[in-house]
Amino acid sequence: MNLIMKKQNTEITKLFKQKQKTCAQLLQTMEEQMRAVSNQDDSQLARIIEGKEELIAVLNETDQIIIERVGALDEANLELLARDSEELRLRIETDLEKIIQQEMDCQEKLHLEKSEVVEKIKGLRKGQKLLKGYERSQRIKPKISKNV
């Protein structure tokens, strides 16, 4: 294998390691998001989501670079890279699966909280309508004579 191809494989492996670190950071951020959702801390949740979006952007950039570099490899180097980076690939896949599962759990919790809030609002509106029946009715003004 020539030196250029070996260097490219090393660079791609470094990119995989960077991607795995970013996935680990995203997984940690997802755990913080789960705590914020459980504690119903909206301001912290907003900050966490912003940080999460930045990490996702880094992942997307890294993926694009990896795709470009892998596209330049020949069959033999591609197979060698696949063997060398198997462990990293598995760790990345495992982290991504955990991230997706936690995201789905957060979404489900938020949906349940939204439903509870909607039900409370409906109950409050119903209560307001009932209270209106106990208010003093305003005097209806006659339309024929103003003296009545």
Return per-residue pLDDT of the chain as tens, 148 residues.
Answer: 567 777 888 888 999 999 999 999 999 999 999 898 888 888 888 899 899 999 999 999 999 999 998 888 888 888 888 888 889 999 999 999 999 999 999 889 888 888 888 888 887 777 766 666 666 656 666 666 655 5
As given in the structure block, the two tokens for residue 141 are 């003004």
pLDDT number for residue 50: 92
Domains along the chain? 3-132 (1.20.58)
pLDDT number for residue 133: 60
> Could you identify the residue written with the tokens 């063997």?
83
> Could you identify the residue written with the tokens 């209806």?
140
70, burial (CB in 10 Å: exposed 0-12, middle 13-18, buried 19+): middle
The Cα 24–Cα 66 span in angstroms is 18
pLDDT number for residue 64: 94
- Asked whether the beta carbons of 15 and 81 are under 8 A apart, the reply is no
* Residues 80-94: b if buried by 16+ CB within 10 A, e if exposed: bbeeebeeeeebbee
- Asked whether the beta carbons of 26 and 94 are under 8 A apart, the reply is no
Cβ count near 23 (within 10 Å) = 21
pLDDT number for residue 41: 85
Tell how far CA 142 is from the center of its chain: 61
pTM for the whole structure: 0.70
- Asked whether the beta carbons of 31 and 99 are under 8 A apart, the reply is no
Three-state DSSP class for 148?
Answer: coil
